[in-house]
């Protein structure tokens, strides 16, 4: 898998980056949008974010004072901190945003964050990177870099959308997935694969990192 380049990174307060790929993405980012609870991790990494967003109940009084010039307090309970961070990126018309730290710790939060990823994917370019792989939402035919035996899962959130695979071990031709699990647990057979989408649809592709 080729390295992922990102100018804009959102760091959420889930499982923090420890794999080389998400850590490299974070360290090379031009702008870091921090969900408030993740500020302690950024301090450990010696990274100062562009802005800290959230209700700020998860940070200390010392941190509130230290970062008072970049804290944006938003106590709207209708959105979680990840949504608030995404909305901030949208307000600034930032595209190609990579989300880190959105998995782990609480499974219900992770599932919620996947839903958020799908919901906002048609408004800006979003990718979620964990310590295990990459979640990429797509709504049109897309080709991905891969390597033989790379573990791939494809989830359809549009049961009426026809999907065709090229370059995966278990082929699919113009199939409609009625259940979320139907396109999971596949495998790349070459250095690229293509997910062919008929019309519009909300599709999520997971590509596992290569083991070191």
pLDDT in tens, 64-105: 889 999 999 888 878 889 999 999 999 999 989 999 999 987
pLDDT of residue 1: 42
| pLDDT at 18 exceeding the cut of 90 | yes
Considering its fold, how many domains does the chain have in total?
A: 2
Instruction: Indicate the pTM of the whole model.
Output: 0.92
Residue 3 lies in a domain: no
pLDDT digits 0-9 by tens, 95-142: 899 999 999 878 888 999 999 999 999 899 999 999 999 999 999 999
User: Is 121 found in the same domain as 56?
Assistant: yes
User: Is 64 found in the same domain as 84?
Assistant: yes
Question: What is the mean predicted confidence (pLDDT) over 42-49?
Answer: 95
Residue 2 lies in a domain: no
Question: What is the mean predicted confidence (pLDDT) over 170-198?
Answer: 94
Domain-terminating residue out of 96, 131, 166: 131
Domain-terminating residue out of 81, 104, 131: 131
| pLDDT at 212 exceeding the cut of 80 | no
3-state secondary structure string across the chain? CCCCCCCEEEECCCCCCCCHHHHHHHHHCCEEEEEHHHHHHHHHCCCCCCEEEECCCCCCHHHHHHCCCCEEECCCCCCCHHHHHHHHHHHCCCCCEEEECCCCCCHHHHHHHHHHHHHHCCCCCEEEECCCEEEEEECCCEEEECCCCCEEEEEECCCCCEEEEECECCCCCCEECCCHHHHCCEEECCCEEEEEEECCCCEEEEEECCCC
pLDDT digits 0-9 by tens, 24-44: 999 999 999 999 889 999 999
User: Is 155 found in the same domain as 124?
Assistant: no
More confident residue, 45 or 212: 45
More confident residue, 56 or 151: 151
Domain-terminating residue out of 85, 101, 131: 131
Residue 120 domain boundaries: 8-131
User: Is 69 found in the same domain as 121?
Assistant: yes
């Amino acid at each position: 898998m080729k390295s992922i380049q990102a100018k804009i990174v959102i760091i959420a307060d889930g499982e923090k980056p420890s794999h080389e790929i998400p850590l490299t993405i974070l360290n090379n980012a031009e702008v870091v949008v921090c969900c408030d609870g993740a500020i302690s991790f950024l301090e450990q990494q010696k990274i100062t974010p562009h802005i800290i967003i959230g209700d700020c109940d998860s940070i200390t009084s010392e941190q509130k004072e230290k970062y008072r010039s970049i804290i944006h307090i938003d106590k709207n309970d209708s959105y979680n901190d990840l949504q608030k961070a995404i909305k901030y990126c949208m307000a600034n018309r930032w595209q190609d945003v990579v989300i880190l730290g959105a998995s782990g710790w609480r499974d219900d939060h992770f599932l919620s964050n996947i839903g958020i990823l799908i919901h906002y994917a048609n408004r800006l370019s979003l990718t979620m990177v964990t310590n295990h792989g990459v979640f990429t939402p797509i709504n049109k035919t897309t080709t991905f870099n891969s390597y033989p035996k790379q573990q791939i899962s494809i989830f359809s959130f549009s049961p009426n959308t026809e999907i065709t695979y090229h370059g995966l071990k278990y082929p699919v031709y113009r199939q409609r997935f009625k259940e979320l699990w139907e396109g999971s647990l596949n495998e790349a057979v070459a250095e690229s694969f293509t997910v062919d989408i008929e019309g519009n649809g909300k599709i999520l592709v997971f590509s596992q990192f290569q083991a070191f």
